Every structure is written in C-alpha cells, then in structure tokens.
Structure 1
C-alpha cells in the first residue's frame, strides 16, 4: 500500500471521527435546546410561577406546621375572658404533648398542604403574573414599577387566592381546634377530606366559606406586607447595599415577614375565632361577623389580645416570605 493511500485512509478516518463528534455535540445541544424551549413555551412560562409558588408553600407548611398549631391554640385560649392564665408558646406546647404525642403538633397537616396547594399557588402565581404585566407596561412608558403598584398587585392576588382557598383554611382550623373540645364533642377528623365532608353535611356547601371575609382581608393585609414589602425591600437593598443576592433575599424576607405579621395578625385572629365557632344549644353563634368579633374581643379580652403570640406568628410567616 502506497504512502498516499495511507494518508487518504487516515484523513478519511479523521473526517469520520470529526463528523461523529459534531453530530454528538449537535444532538446534545438539540436536546438541551428542546428542554430550554419547553420551559420557555408560553404555557410553561405562565404556569411556572403557580407551580413554584405552590411547591414552596407546601414545603414551608411542612416545616412550620407545629408553629401554626401553637399559634391557633394561643388565639383560642381564654376566649371571652380578660383575666386568667396567659399562655405562652412553651406552655401550649407542653399542654399539647401532655395530652397526646409529638405528632399531635402536626394535626391538620393534610389541610395545611391542601391550603398551600390552592392558596399559595394562586396568590404567588397571580402576583407574579400581575407584576410581569406591570413591568411590561412600565417599560413601554419608560417608567418603573412603584410601591403603590406592587401593593395593589399584592392585595389583589391575596384576596383572590384567599377566597378560593377558604374551604381548606376552614378545615385546618377545625382540625387544629378539635382537641380543645370535651372528648364527647370531638369530631376526630381523619383527614382534610373527612373534615370538609363533615362540614358540608352539617352546615351545607356554603358553610365551607365560613369566616371568608376576615380570611380575604387577612390575606390582602398579609400580601401587602409580605409581597409588596419584600419586593420593595429587595429593590432598595439592591441599590443601597453591596450584599450578595442571597443575603439581600434573606434580609428582605425578614423585613417583609415583620410587616406581614403586624398588618395581618388581628385579621388572622378574627379568622381563627370565626372559623372555629359552632352554634350553641340556643342555635346562635358566638360572633355574628368580623366586626362583631372585633368589638366583643376588644370589650371582653382587651385590644392587645389581637396581638397575642406575635412572635410565634412572625416565626410562622417568615419562612413563607
């Protein structure tokens, strides 16, 4: 075999190897492009904020469910009495553990997860969608999205999501407060499905929206503090500090958690009382409405009762922020 023939064979082999390598690279790039294109399709771009919001809310709920349980028990303690024992998170925790077991702190977890799957998915998804539209409009007008617009987006997203998620929220409160009743009166709900079914049988479908007014107002106040203040705080920290993006996010979350807790706790308190209440032997409910609840609690228990357990509530809200 001549040297020319050997050279031609070697060049042909190199060419073949090079083509195979290019084809392999092109295949990998094509697969990556398909994946990227899928995530950037209009449908997925619209759905991702809802998916991320719901998933993050469910993870946060799994972590802080015991804190939420303690918060509810603090709000229901000493109802209608101005004086008497003043429970703390520690004493409430001891009481729950003394009556049962550690897993009792996770009572209502199924309802909490369903609530997040519905409520947080809707509120974060709606907020992100509203903010994107506001940003597009601001870009067209050569302006920037202001705090008032962020607040409006947060209020709207919170109100819409809270109304949709009220049945799961109601089931959560009923499950968490069931242990406070005498043994003969307890429902001993097995799951969120059992709780919702029981409520529908006893109070009708409309009964699932008991306490909807304070739930919606509470969500609007919460979102105003959580989403609007988080967005504003992060924007301010980005321009006024040299912190890393992760540190800015954590700091903004802490700030947003405080304002969200301060603005929403009184409404959360009223929501808990209204959703827990049941008709007495005379067929009447303890509270007629959110306003009636505020008036009676202020007269019988004092104004500061609305902020009982603020620290616990803040610890519950901050992870969600």
Structure 2
C-alpha cells in the first residue's frame, strides 16, 4: 500500500513540476510579447546564462581585439623567425618587415591567418576569461565567507590557472596561425598556401599526425600562464589600486590595461618566442627536427643567437599585447555591464 502511495505521490509531483514548467514558459512568452526588455533580462539571469556569459563575453571581446591587431601579430611572428640560427643574422625592424610583406603581395597579406586568429580567440580567450571570472567568483565567495578580501595571490592563481587550461584547448588553432603566417617565408614551390584555418589543421593532421596539432604545447601553456599572470592579475590589481583615485571609470580601465599589457609582455615574450620557433619547425629530409623541446630551443637560441634574441621585437610585441589587452578587457567590461 505504501509503495502504491509513493508511486502516486511521485506521479503527482511530476505532474506538478510539468505544470509549473509549462506555466513558467507561458509566462516568459507572455512577458516577451508585452515587454521584450524584461524577457531578455529574465533570459540573462537564468543559471545557465549566468555561468555561460563570462565565456561568451570573453570570446567575443577577444575576437574583436584580434581583428584590430592582426597585422601587428603578423609582423611580430616574422620578426621572431628572421635570422634563425645565426647570431649575426639580419636585423629587421617592424617597418622593414611591413614593407617586405606589402612588396611581396598586397596590404591584405598583413591579415594572413586571420581565420586562425579568430578561431584561436573563440577557443582560447573564451576559455581563459571565462575560467578567470569563474575562479575569481569562487575565491571571492570563499573570502567573503571568512570575512576577508581576496588579494594579489588569489588573482595571480586565477590568472595562471585560467591561462594554462585555455592554452591546451587553443593550441591547434595557435599552431595553424603560426604555420599560416610563416608560410610566405618559404620558397614559392614549397608553400602550402592554406586557404583557411581548417585547411591548415587538416593538412597538418594528415601529413604529420593528429598529435602534431599540439606541437609546442608546453611553451604555449607556460607562455599563456605568464601572459595571464601579467595581464589578468595586474589588471585586476591595478583597477583595485586605482579605484580610490580621481580617475573616471574609463580612465581607470585604460590605465590598468596599459599596465597589464606591459607586465604581460615582459613575462611572456621569451616563451612566445620559443613557441613560435617550435610551432614553425618541420622535419628535415633526414626526419629530425631543429629543436627537440622547449628547453632545447631555449639552449640553442641562447648559444647561437644570444640571450637578447628572446626579447627581439619587444616594442612590437607590447604594441600587439597592450592594445589587444585593452580592447579585450574594455569590450569584456562593457559586455559584462550590459549583461549584468
């Protein structure tokens, strides 16, 4: 008898939940007809959307920033690949590289690899900003429960963790970007002339194996952790320090972004340099690779090209990182404001 009653109670509860869900759906539809803005706000405040918004806003912000700075990224990669293996090799400048690219083709060649850059941001920046925001909320909740405030240690931990996790997801797109940008350095007969990021990924997987899509993953992860430590941790810290100054909100965001861009560049450039070299390399006729690992690459470059080679193009890198950080963080801040 008790079993029968339990079944009846369960069935009645299921019917009640179904009725409640149908009523809620009807109410949302009625609200949408009567007040579209209120309906949008209801959707934005569902648990799923609250969890997803940091990732959506982060990815959108990163893609906007990449579209703006793609030519600078192209120049940065070409600077890092110039004079490989020679201490006294060519000493290109951002201007000379730009002239060379334009002379060899057309102005739009500066946007080579844009599809890979956008895919990378859709994966990498979506993940890193989303994870960072999620970790920061968790740290903040834990600190408030103890009656404390989060400090630089928590911000650094969130930045390092978010950067490392996101870099693993984004490595294939990052690899495709480097291959597309360096393809023009090869003799015409040896170029792959990738039509899109998906063509590049397919060609690499077929000719070198699927695992090759994670070539250079170690320096990519370390570089991402260093970059995020510099960018997100220092941006969050700078905003906190500037909060009580006479600067307006926009000026605070711009200043904090510039500060974050400098530290992100300083900490991450050596790893970005090694990442570019490892991702560009392909097997020689004898089946060997120029560099065996991140450590091997660091050692060979330091010995053959000098320690300062790791910081070649720092100004270009900063001009690439700082605006990207500023545009990304400003757009993310704005999207966070209109979707809060």
TM over 0.5: yes
Counterpart in the other structure of 1:57: 62
Label 1:235 to 1:190 Cα distance change in 2 as closer, same or farther (>3 A): same
Q: Which runs of 4+ in 1 moved over 4 A?
A: 26-31
- Which residue, 36, 44, 55 being the options, matches 1:39? 44
Conserved? CA contact 2:32–2:39, under 8 Å:
no
User: How far does the alpha carbon of each residue in 1:78-119 deviate from its partner, in whole angstroms, 9 at most, with x for none?
Assistant: 000101321000000001111100011000000000000000
Counterpart in the other structure of 2:283: 279
User: How far does the alpha carbon of each residue in 1:214-258 deviate from its partner, in whole angstroms, 9 at most, with x for none?
Assistant: 00000000000000000000100113x110010000000000000
Conserved? CA contact 2:178–2:279, under 8 Å:
yes
d(CA) in 1 for partners of 2:147, 2:51: 24
d(CA) in 1 for partners of 2:159, 2:256: 16
Displacement of 1:30 after TM fit? 5.1
Counterpart in the other structure of 1:132: 137
d(CA) in 2 for partners of 1:31, 1:262: 47
Counterpart in the other structure of 1:202: 207
Conserved? CA contact 2:269–2:314, under 8 Å:
yes
Counterpart in the other structure of 1:88: 93
- Which residue, 313, 316, 323 being the options, matches 1:312? 316
Conserved? CA contact 2:32–2:38, under 8 Å:
no
User: How far does the alpha carbon of each residue in 1:270-320 deviate from its partner, in whole angstroms, 9 at most, with x for none?
Assistant: 000000000111111000000000000000000000000111111111123
d(CA) in 2 for partners of 1:35, 1:116: 26
Map 1:170-249 to 2 at 5 A: 170-239=175-244, 241-249=245-253
- Which residue, 155, 165, 168 being the options, matches 2:170? 165
CA RMSD of aligned residues (A): 1.3
**Structure 1 unmatched ranges of 5 or more:** 1-25
Matched, 1:292 2:296: yes
Say which SS state the counterpart of residue 52 (structure 1) adopts: helix
d(CA) in 2 for partners of 1:34, 1:85: 60
Displacement of 1:147 after TM fit? 0.3
d(CA) in 2 for partners of 1:45, 1:195: 35
Report the structure number with the largest CA radius of gyration. 1
Say which SS state the counterpart of residue 188 (structure 1) adopts: coil
Normalised to the residue count of structure 2, the TM-score between the two structures is: 0.85
